[in-house]
Structures are given as C-alpha cells and as structure tokens.
Amino acid sequence: MNPTELFNQRASDEATSRTRRLLAPDPWASAGLATHLKDHGALEHHPTSERWRMGMLGEIERAGLVGHGGAAFPTGQKLRAILDHRRKPFVIANGTEGEPASMKDRVLLARAPHLVFDGAALAASLVGADEIFIVVHHDVRESVDLALAERREARLDRVRFRVMTAADGFVAGEASAVVNWVGRGVPIPLGKAPRMTERGLGGRPTLVHNVETLAHLALVARHGAEWFREVGTAEEPGTMLVTLAGSVVSPGVFEVAIGTRMSDVLDLAGGPSAPIQALLIGGYFGTWVPAPVALSAPFSTAGLGVGLGAGLIVALSTTGCGVRETARLVRYLASQSAGQCGPCSFGLPAIAEQLEFLAHGMPVRFDDLTRWVTEIEGRGACGHPDGVARHIRSALDVFGDEVSEHLEGRCSASERRASLTIPMGEPL
C-alpha cells in the first residue's frame, strides 16, 4: 500500500469508528462473554415493572429502530402489537439468513452473539415471554452454542433460550417459515395466516425479529434513543450491517451508518475492483440501481429510492452481463419456491426459462415474459413471487440496453463467468 492509500484507509477508519457499534473494530477480537461485558456492560431489565417496560418501549420507538430482516418494519410497533394479547408470547430470533449472498447475520452471530442474546432477552422481558428460540445458520451454530453455555454458567438470563439450526433454502428465512420450522419442522411460509403477533408458534403470539435487529435493541437499551440517532439520517437512523459482494476488492460484511455515500461504502471493501455498471441493493429480491446514480447517492432508502432490504450490495462490473446475472438469479429463485401456490410454482420456472433464452440470445416470448412477471405479483401465499417480480422489473429497466442487444442475439459483456453466487447453481 502506498502512503496515499494508507492515508485514505485511516481516514475511512476514523469516519467509521463512530459507526462501529455492533461489530468490534478488530475482527479477531474475542466474542466471549467477558469481553462483551467489558465493552458494553451488563444489561438490566425489570420485566415486572410496567413503568420500565413502557419507558423502554418509548425509547425504542423514539430511536426509530426498524427491522433488519428485509422489510424494515418499525420495531417498536411490532413490540406493541404483541402486548395487546393476553396469552404468553414466544420470541424467535431469526438468524436463518436464507439469502445466499448475505453474510451479515452469520458474521454478527460469530462476532457478537451476546448482543443478540441480550436483545432477545430484553424483548422477552418487554413482552412477557419466558421462552426464546434462536434460529441460526448451521455455519455459526457452534459459536452460538458456546455463547449460550457461557451465559448459562454465569446465570445471566432469567429466560430460557433454545438454539436451533435453521433450515436451508431461500424462503426458510421468512418469518412465518421460521415459525413453521420451529413448530413443525417445515420451513415454508404459512399461507392465509393471521399475523405472527396474533397467532404464531403453538397458537401463541410470536415475536420474530432478525438477529441484527435484536443486537441493535440491546444497544438502544443501554445507550438510549438519542445515542442511536447520533449517526444515520433523521428518517433512517443508526447503523446497519451490509454484505458487500461482487466486483469489490475485499468482499465482506461491514457496519455502515445509514446515509453514508455509496462510494464510501464500497471503499470499506477496498473499493470497486473494476468499473461498475450497476449495484444490486437489498438482496436477491432487491433492486438494481445504475452505477452513476448509485455511487454518488447516500446509502439509504430515501437516497437510493429503493429499500435497503437485508443489506446486500452486489457490484456488477461493466464487463459483466446484467441479463445473464438476472437469468441465473431468477432460475435460482424459481428453484426456491416453496411449491405451495400455482402462480409461483409454474410462473417462476417459465419466466426463468424465457430469461435464459434471452441470456443466450435465443428467441424469446417477450410479451409473455412481461405479462407473467406482472401476473405473479400478489398471487402467492408469501412475498416470494413479488420479490422476484420486483427484481426482474428493475433488471429489465436498468439493463434495458443489454436486453435490446440480447433480443438481437448479441451480448456486449466480455466477462464469461457470472459473479453472483448461487448455491449449487450452474453457471450459464
């Protein structure tokens, strides 16, 4: 590294040191209980005190914390919804991370599991639950078990934790799928179901939170709403974990303040490894944004015009082919359909097939393709077809020129290999 680069590195370190909340600066730092208590201090809760509970809820609402599983649902609102019910609720910490390219939940559970446990215990105190399920990706099961063992030895919690390994598969991370997994061992979304907050696991109100949300909760409880809002934007306060992938120098998981300039966000991963044509924001269900627009925009829903989803950012270089990536991705998503509903089970593979023809420059039933994409929306029991439809629409829009090329049997990309990771996927 030459001195200029070193300087840039340090400058960005300083800028981001304020935003190092969930993740400790040193990736190799201990994730153990002792270090956790030293860094963050113990978290006290008073589940029997109505005053404490209402006060804490107010604090969470003022902080403007939203869910980090993808839908960005206001956390305070979800907590309040559960309070309306008399039956004893369950809490489920969702660390399934069904999104294959996303790593943030695994990294969080490996590096800061105690924040997640703290947050879950806090949520349980707030809603009057005494049983918490922590559903984690198998990659980090061991770390989580270790963390729980430490807490049990220290008799830290009044609630009972149960760790479970998550099922594989894209839809397995959906909230009702997780509830179904915990309760019945079947990781597919429930259909015409009442809200989880009304009738979830075992018919009891169930609070499902993404593990990152719970980690933020644990810090808001310690430091308060004002502290939380010190970084980020007014409408979207706080930090969030992002997974940077694709054409960046060092892909990985980073913590960023919402509202940070996108080019600065990419710099956390060493910057682009090649000129970028577009960024996929949110996840495989996310939206493509063209690079010129994206790179100078702030990393926020307001700034980019698209939801931040599960914090995935994939950079596609100019040598890559957006049409090919989309075709591969949609084929993967089609394979991940739970298969419960006709429009999704039949529509997605048909759409994937047409996109593959398009990617190969073969004749395509383009009108059918666009009609089917419109038709699948809202006609499944879960959000799977909607996410795919949204993604495809943004791809057809952003890669419009490339699509036209492909419709004439050409492809302007020079890169032969696709860059998006697909589990067990065949490269086109």
Partner 1 sequence: MKSPLVLRIDRIRCDGRGTCAEVLPELIELDHWGYPIIANGSVPRDLERLAIAAVELCPKMALELKAAEEGARSVSDRTDEPL
- Which CB atom, from 74 or from 290, has the smaller least distance to partner 1? 74
DSSP H or E stretch at residue 354: helix 342-359
In this structure, are residues 114 and 151 in contact, taking their beta carbons and an 8 Å threshold?
A: yes
Taking the mean position of all CA atoms in its chain, how far away is CA 107?
12
For the CB of residue 4, give the shortest distance to partner 1 in the complex, in Å: 42
- Two tokens at 132? 């918490």
Per DSSP bridges, beta strands 206-210 and 160-165 are unpaired
DSSP, res 231? S
For the CB of residue 347, give the shortest distance to partner 1 in the complex, in Å: 7
CA dihedral angle for residue 14, residue 28, residue 219, residue 256, rounded to 10 degrees: 40
For the CB of residue 137, give the shortest distance to partner 1 in the complex, in Å: 15
- Which CB atom, from 134 or from 188, has the smaller least distance to partner 1? 188
Instruction: Determine the 3-state secondary structure of 408 from DSSP.
Output: coil
Strand partners, 113: none
For the CB of residue 244, give the shortest distance to partner 1 in the complex, in Å: 20
For the CB of residue 110, give the shortest distance to partner 1 in the complex, in Å: 22
- Which CB atom, from 284 or from 399, has the smaller least distance to partner 1? 284
- Which CB atom, from 351 or from 359, has the smaller least distance to partner 1? 351
- Two tokens at 206? 């169930």
Measured CA to CA, the distance from residue 201 to residue 91 in angstroms comes to 9
Q: Which residues bind partner 1 (CB under 8 A)?
A: 67, 69-73, 98-99, 170-171, 173-176, 190-196, 208, 210, 283, 285, 310, 340-343, 346-347, 350, 368, 372, 375, 378-384, 387
Residues 6+ apart with CB under 8 A from 207: 78, 79, 82, 89, 90, 91, 92, 123, 127, 129, 196, 197
- Which CB atom, from 322 or from 380, has the smaller least distance to partner 1? 380
For the CB of residue 72, give the shortest distance to partner 1 in the complex, in Å: 8
DSSP, res 385? H
- Which CB atom, from 271 or from 383, has the smaller least distance to partner 1? 383
- Which CB atom, from 51 or from 192, has the smaller least distance to partner 1? 192
For the CB of residue 390, give the shortest distance to partner 1 in the complex, in Å: 12
- Which CB atom, from 155 or from 192, has the smaller least distance to partner 1? 192
For the CB of residue 351, give the shortest distance to partner 1 in the complex, in Å: 11
Residues 6+ apart with CB under 8 A from 200: 90, 176, 179, 206, 208
In this structure, are residues 298 and 266 in contact, taking their beta carbons and an 8 Å threshold?
A: no
Measured CA to CA, the distance from residue 159 to residue 417 in angstroms comes to 49
